[in-house]
Structure 1
Amino acid sequence: MHVKCSKDYFESYFSIASAVPSVPCLILNFFLVNRVSSKVRILSSLVVILLVFVLTTVLVKVDTSAWTKEFFVLTLSCVVILSGAANILAASIFGITGQFPMKNSQALVSGQAMGGIVSALAAILDLSVASNVTDSALAYFLTAVIFTIICIIVYLILPRMEYSRYYLSISNDKPSSSSLETAAAGDNHSSLNSNSPPIGPILRKVSMLATCLFYTFFITIIIFPTISASIESVNSKSGSIWTTKYFTPITCFLIYNFSDFCGRQITAWIQSPGPKSKILPTLVFLRTLFIPLFMFCNYQPRKHIDKVFFQSDVYPVLFIALLGLSNGYLGTLSMIYGPKVVPKELAEGTAIIMSFFLGLGLAVGSAFSSLAQLI
């Protein structure tokens, strides 16, 4: 019974294990902003990620058939550690990028989506040509190890570039007293000389944007991948290679990640609605409608809703494309606006706070995704 339950809720376990640690790690990262340099936070996170991937790569060749339950717990533990390190890494990088022009922040979030496309294409390629699951897993994790090492090398090169030195030197200059006094006005518990950025003034500036960011990813993680990956082709009984082998990898993962990338990339040319517009939160909250739309597709197994309203494979493809496009566009706008509506000296702290709300949305959404499976 336990094995069956684990199998049925496999995606939910992994969603929760990857999302929940993000909240405490992002809180920790915020209070470390002025205590531990971004270089230390980024490099230490990359090293932890590298070690976890090395361990996972080694475990690929270990026979775990005699201790599957323990291996599952170990795997979830690795996911937790990996998620925590990745969140500190991402928030720290967002913090640094907040000191650069907006186009750099946009490029960063677009690059994240590009990673999703690459992984989706790799999964499809693996389905097409791979004959051994173990060898495929080994290739995946070795690739992760190599790319993590490349990231460490590239980050060490970054401070040597004239472009990055220019913007980082501006942020390291002593801020003017007038701008700092304005930022801290009304916050009796914040001190500009404290070891962490003033939370109150930042939240007053970005509360609406932070809420939009939270809710965007809250809705997305409820649906993707827990619900969307459980949608089967309405022609699954035909036995065709499309409906049995490629339907989920293409419709769920590839189309979502490509649409998400497109949505993020569009923000490089179109940045509307603006950070103070009421249209932005309206569009964000309208995404709630995606939940019933996906549930009315051929979601399996169905427990209480027997009728499938959308009797065509076109609908889940359309819905997942719109989900990814709206997530990429609205999430990116909310993210890149945040550090730009506060004084420059608070940009790093603001970017980390925005990352916190993103992680909070993922954590809460992953918990709700488990409840959605009971419908």
Structure 2
Amino acid sequence: MNYFESYFAVASTVPSVLCLMANFVLVNRVPVRVRVLTSLTMMLAIFMVMTILVKVDTSSWTNGFFAVTMVCMVLISSASTIFGSSVYGLTGSFPMRNSQALISGGAMGGTISAVASLVDLAVSRDVTDSALAFFLTADVFLALCIVLYLLLPRLAYARFYMRPAWPAHVVSGEVGQLQDSSSASLLAPRSNNSHTPPLCPILKMTIGLGFSIIYLFFITSLIFPAMCTNIESFNKGSGSLWTTKFFVPLTSFLLYNFADLCGRQITAWIQIPGPKSRLLPGLVLLRTCFIPLFIFCNYQPRTHLKKVLFMSDVYPIVFTSLLGISNGYLSTLALIYGPKIVSRELAEATGVVMSFYVNLGLLLGSACSALLVHLI
């Protein structure tokens, strides 16, 4: 059970990376409206199946239920990746504040989920009823997302920024050709030829931001949740609810998600350093210090590194807050910069590439977290 979080993260991120590759290929082949609605519909269908399974007695077919659960997880991960990267790519054509709001919304969802989990932990007496409530809530919100997306083209503001742009094609392979006059590309009609967007020029233009995103999420997923959730209170022996039942949910899940949300929201007012600044990757590299800080908190069980240096519950609270706020602030900066340093016709494809950077970082961190947990 100590390694469950690491294995679960790996299982969910692998299909995400594969689907991002597929989504990049489909950018100019399948309209974003089709990709978004199809992925939302698939997620809604799977969650409805899982809602039904909550009330099914699985004691007689535990292996089969585990297999069904894993298949559902893979499908949901795949569909949510297509949905997230498509919507993020779409907002690349909108003003930067819209991309920032979208990214902050993801952190808000995590915070609300953490709060709901704590409320459920405090008042619920039946695990089945709690699971049913969570899945029904997901069903309602997914259905609402479908309705709202269908209504989006009715807004004049959305129609203006969602108007077609000329699909980008590279003839000579020069990056400079991708940054022609934006006014010409804005007025040009969409070509009937659907080709894969030019990957190499996008990678060249976003290499600095890509490194920052990959390494940032590598460090974050290396620590959270695999390490954070195994840090115990020094006063656990007292038997109080704070040190036993609520310590991990509060100091790990809620605190991290809230700090992450705060970091993302700060970017609405402060956007420093800029996309070309060397300070951004420097700050990302500095987050490597979080690894030893969390290792020498009261992580349990400890097999090889017996010594605990931070002998207070205050330390993991401070470290988790800093981990979350730095992750939220730096990742949002890098993500909102990406689609803005390329021409408009490449914005959606660049958004998919930036999402790929995120998932690659998560995948590498999740895989290494399993190794790190074994070494502590």
Shorter-chain TM band: over 0.9
2:50 maps to 1:68: no
Greater shift after overlay, 297-306 or 23-32? 297-306
Structure 2: distance between partners of 1:291 and 1:72: 32
Q: Could you tell me whether the CA contact under 8 Å between 1:335 and 1:354 is conserved in 2?
A: yes
Stretches of structure 1 that go unaligned for 5 or more consecutive residues are 1-6, 187-191
One-letter amino acid of the structure 1 residue matched with residue 8 of structure 2: F
TM value normalised by structure 1? 0.93
Residues 70 and 295 (structure 1), Cα distance of their counterparts in 2 relative to 1, 3 Å cut: farther
1:17 aligns with 2:11: yes
CA contact (8 A) 2:169 2:197 kept: no
Contact residue 231 and residue 300 of structure 1 kept, 8 A: yes
Aligned residue number for residue 8 of structure 1:
2
In structure 2, distance between residues paired with 1:65 and 1:176:
54
Structure 1 residue aligned with 2:78: 84
In the alignment, which residue of structure 2 is the partner of 1:268? 268
| 1:63 shift after superposition | 1.3
Determine the structure 2 residue equivalent to 1:113. Answer: 107
CA deviation digits over 1:262-317, x for unaligned, max 9? 00000000000000000000100111111111111111111111111111000000
Counterpart residue number, 2:338: 338
Name the amino acid aligned to 1:307: K
Please say if residues 185 and 201 of structure 1, whose CA atoms lie closer than 8 Å, have aligned partners that are also in contact: no
- CA drift of 1:261 comes to 0.3
Structure-2 residue corresponding to 1:28: 22
1:128-277 correspondence runs (5 A): 128-169=122-163, 172-174=164-166, 183=175, 185=177, 195-277=195-277
Q: Which residue matches 1:348?
A: 348
Structure 1 pair 58–180 and aligned structure 2 pair: CA distance change class (3 A): farther
CA deviation digits over 1:73-104, x for unaligned, max 9? 32122111111111110000011000000000
> For residues 64 and 243 of structure 2, what CA distance do their matches in structure 1 show?
34
Q: Shift of residue 181 of structure 1?
A: 8.3
Q: Summarize the Cα distance change of 1:236–1:207 in structure 2 as closer, same or farther, 3 Å threshold.
A: same
Aligned residues of 1:216 and 1:361 also touching (Cα < 8 A): yes
Number of equivalences: 362
Code of the residue aligned with 1:200 in structure 2: it is C
Tell me what 2:315 maps to: 315
Rounded Cα–Cα distance in structure 1 between residues aligned with 2:167 and 2:50: 45
Q: Which amino acid aligns with 2:44?
A: L
SS at match of 2:93: coil
Structure 1 stretch displaced more, 62-71 or 206-215? 62-71
RMSD (Å) for aligned C-alpha atoms:
1.9
- Cα deviations by residue, 1:29-73 (Å, 9 ceiling, x for unpaired): 000000000011101100111111111111111111222233223
Give the distance between the partners of 2:169 and 2:308, measured in 1 at CA: 62
Report sequence identity in percent: 57
Instruction: Tell me the distance in 1 between the aligned counterparts of 2:250 and 2:338.
Output: 33
Please say if residues 51 and 132 of structure 2, whose CA atoms lie closer than 8 Å, have aligned partners that are also in contact.
yes
